[in-house]
Amino acid sequence: MDFSYPVTLIPDPDDGGYVVSFADLPEAITQGDTVEESLDEAQGALEAAIEYRVREGLELPEPSTPAPGQRTVAPPIHTALKAALYRALRESDVSKTELARRLDLDEKEARRILDPRHATRLPTMEKALRALGKHVEVRVW
């Protein structure tokens, strides 16, 4: 699963800087004074959009293919792992109760693993993803 989404930066002729948006997640919109600041702000907007969709039980779309030369932005690793777990759970049709059973946890603990605002340890998220047949791999470019 990939969570690097193409980002669009549009120069703002009135206020200067850039308006930043994501076609795949229209609720993620922000702005910045420079390209670098805009991309930093984009990561925060992307993180908030993913957290919102997970909390509300909404679809979390796959990123579209970036246009040639278009930049992409990824959420923080912790958010990407929560999103991967959320998507894997939805795709597998495994209930939170069944996930808790597979992890030998209380159902409340399993629900917290899925909570985007709960600071779940990385090994716990890896274990939960393995319980759903997924493997975590990190790439650095």
Check which CATH number belongs to the domain holding 40 and give it: 3.30.160.250
63 in a structural domain: yes
Q: Which pLDDT score, from 0 to 100, does residue 140 have? A: 80
pTM: 0.89
140 in a structural domain: no
123 in a structural domain: yes
Q: Which pLDDT score, from 0 to 100, does residue 17 have? A: 94
Domain count, the chain: 2
Instruction: State whether 10 and 68 are in the same domain.
Output: yes
Bridge partners of residue 5, in order along the sequence: 73
Instruction: State whether 68 and 18 are in the same domain.
Output: yes
Which residues lie below 8 Å from residue 59, measured CB to CB, with a gap of 6+?
Answer: 53
125 in a structural domain: yes
Q: Which pLDDT score, from 0 to 100, does residue 89 have? A: 93
Instruction: State whether 17 and 62 are in the same domain.
Output: yes
Q: Which pLDDT score, from 0 to 100, does residue 31 have? A: 94
Domain termination site, one of 73, 99, 121: 73
Q: Which pLDDT score, from 0 to 100, does residue 141 have? A: 73
141 in a structural domain: no
Q: Which pLDDT score, from 0 to 100, does residue 116 have? A: 86
Q: Which pLDDT score, from 0 to 100, does residue 19 have? A: 95
Q: How confident is the chain (141 residues) per 10-residue block, as mean pLDDT?
A: 95 91 97 95 97 94 95 94 94 91 92 90 94 90 73
Q: Which pLDDT score, from 0 to 100, does residue 93 have? A: 85
Range of the domain at 53: 5-73
Q: In the chain, which ranges are E strands?
A: 5-6, 8-11, 18-21, 29-32, 72-73
**Token duo for residue 17:** 């800087």
Instruction: State whether 87 and 55 are in the same domain.
Output: no
